[in-house]
């Protein structure tokens, strides 16, 4: 199954009713600055979710601009 289309407004909210959408995740390595990872960890941030949301927003912006590659 593929990823469902979502519109991101900068704040993620949970649906009022339970969703029957199944999202399959793929394990993927990302190399980040060690100090940045430590600071994010110290703040209790979910780096994986932040990276996923940023990638979704970046792809949406590219599609809207008509650019096929950066």
Per-residue pLDDT tens digits for 3-59? 555 555 555 555 566 667 887 889 999 999 999 999 999 999 999 999 999 999 999
**Domain contains 16:** no
Whether the Cβ atoms of residue 7 and residue 57 lie closer than 8 Å to each other? no
| Structural domain range at position 2 | 1-9+25-70
Tokens of 51: 């990276």
**Domain contains 14:** no
The pLDDT value recorded for residue 20 is 76
Confidence of residue 67 (pLDDT cuts 50, 70, 90): confident
CA gyration radius, the chain: 15
The pLDDT value recorded for residue 23 is 79
Number of domains comprising the chain: 1
Whether the Cβ atoms of residue 34 and residue 47 lie closer than 8 Å to each other? no
Tokens of 59: 């792809």
């Amino acid at each position: 199954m593929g990823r469902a289309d979502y519109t991101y407004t900068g704040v993620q909210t949970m649906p009022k009713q339970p969703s029957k959408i199944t999202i399959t995740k793929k394990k993927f390595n990302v190399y980040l600055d060690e100090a940045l990872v430590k600071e994010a960890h110290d703040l209790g941030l979910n780096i994986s979710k932040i990276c996923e949301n940023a990638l979704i927003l970046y792809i949406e912006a590219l599609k809207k601009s008509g650019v096929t590659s950066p």
